[in-house]
Structure 1
Amino acid sequence: MRILEKSPCAFLSNCEIWRVRPDTIDTELQIFIVGPEGSWPEETRFGVTFATDAEQFGNMVPNMVRTLTTFGDVYPSYTVSIGYAPTSAQAYSVQRTRDLTPTEWPAYSAFFTEALNEPTVLPTGKALDFLNFIIDELQPELNAAYPINLQDSTLVGHDLGGLFTLFAFLNRPEAFQNYLAISPALWWAESALINLAQDTTASTLSPKSKLYLCAGALEAQHPTKSLVSALPEDLQAKLPQGILRPDIAGHIHRLEAALAPWKTQGLTLHTATIPNETQGSVIGSGLSQGLRALNSLTEIYGG
């Protein structure tokens, strides 16, 4: 990874923005690194929360962590939000769909390509490359530059980011100790990740990790249908099934069942359906409840 530029952040204190060029991903990324406020002994090392989709969460995650820290709900920590450089040739939606999905889905690629009127088929299923970048390239650079403790780390994501968080948990669980998946897009590729969970728990021992899964109780009122209705009818017909009204809560229950063998081996798992929240509004409450739960899951939620 090459660090192309480091600059201060204009909208958050104790914040630095890195523009980087990964060795294994053909794009430029923008990393928002926010440290805890206040004065601390020089030898202090802090936990760190990694979040996908800095375009959405560049402000939200660090502000939530700071608010919870102020009121004594969580320990002070660093936050690292990963997004795409504004100079990137492709749109944010295109790049996140490529990098956060663990499985290629040709039917979705075809629909997505036509919907965006792209000249070439848009790729999907590159989550492993993105995960390897975070673990093998980004984490060592951050560890050298900041007083962080990578043995006290959390990965957070929503929607496709939640799907990516779960993929990371199943694929390289040792890289983070805590995982927070908010409204994960488990509908992706006909629930391929749930199948992966079943295979993984049957063939490997559980990591000593904490996983918090949540969704909004009102997610059945999914806004995608109204958005898709604006598309031409022939294009609507090409949309893969399961996207218009995904059963997020049902998928989470299925995933919980798939992970059941690991709960007897060391996995600490909590799932929640949060009342009165939609797919979008659940982000804030999911962050608040999930970050608190992962700091002290047994004390707050009774295991």
Structure 2
Amino acid sequence: MKRIGILTSGGDAPGMNACIRAAVRAALANNLTVVGIRRGYTGLIATDTVPLDRAAIRNIIHQGGTILETSRSPDLYTREGRLRVAEAIGKMGLDGVILIGGDGTFHGASLVAADTDTAPLVGVPGSIDNDVYGTDYCIGFDTAANCAVEAIDRIRDTARSHERLFFLEVMGRTAGFLALESGIAGGAEELIIPEEETSIAPMSERIRKGFDIGKKSAIVVVAEAKTPGVSFQIAGEVKKHLDLDSRVVILGHLQRGGPPTLRDRVLGSSLGVAAVEALLEGRSECMVGEVGGALAYTPLEETWKKKKPLNENLRRIFSILSD
């Protein structure tokens, strides 16, 4: 192991730069040469690289986004594209590659490994959706969740002032992790997540009862699911059951940017070092994550084939606290 590459792929997440920084420093401490691959798999196929030394990673730990830039590449889902990836890794003389991203990133990597005799691949989970199997938390989730909580706190002031119902939509795709934890921390009255079927009529009745007993506001946290903007449809359906003034706020990509929190900086740093050490130990086709506070290695194929469950205790807690 003499020369490794690092890339970020899929959606950007706060803390990715902390991970890059840690991986580079860990690699240099072990006398490895590090190559940064720009624009994810798209840049990998094009051999679009930049040297990563101490100067290149200076003062990036507090920055959101990714200094290596990112993309989503459809080439990974064709055999020809996967062969081009393996060819590019060989052309660059890489003895291993660290892949920072989500389940799509690891799906592509596992397909490449299955189809080709490529260099060792080690993944690091970076996704604000927190939906990657094999780790309790992904890099970027904590920052995004704190962004959502701050938005709930701010909206609560206006909602209370106008005695109004608000629907606050967070990201998460087909997973409700962001909605669940930000809903608990923000004291939301209702939660709409992909993992549970929501009946509009009973939810509307619960909201009405809250106002009847003296509440001055109500906030419903909605996971965007597969259709960003779904909150407008939900608000319209609630209006049929509840004669109450309501507003919709969609946070969207606001949750992705900004400086990473302490938790994301520490997690990114920890997993960046772990990824380098995994390569040095001869590991491949795995993702490094944290489960129960301990380092865990999960086969890349499992990270996207297995669905990560929501924390049942947190779901129970929300149902108690929102009553």
Q: Structure 2 length as normaliser, TM-score?
A: 0.35
TM-score (structure 1 length as normaliser) = 0.37
Question: Which of 1 and 2 has higher RCO (CA within 8 Å, sep 6+)?
Answer: 2
Higher helix share: 2
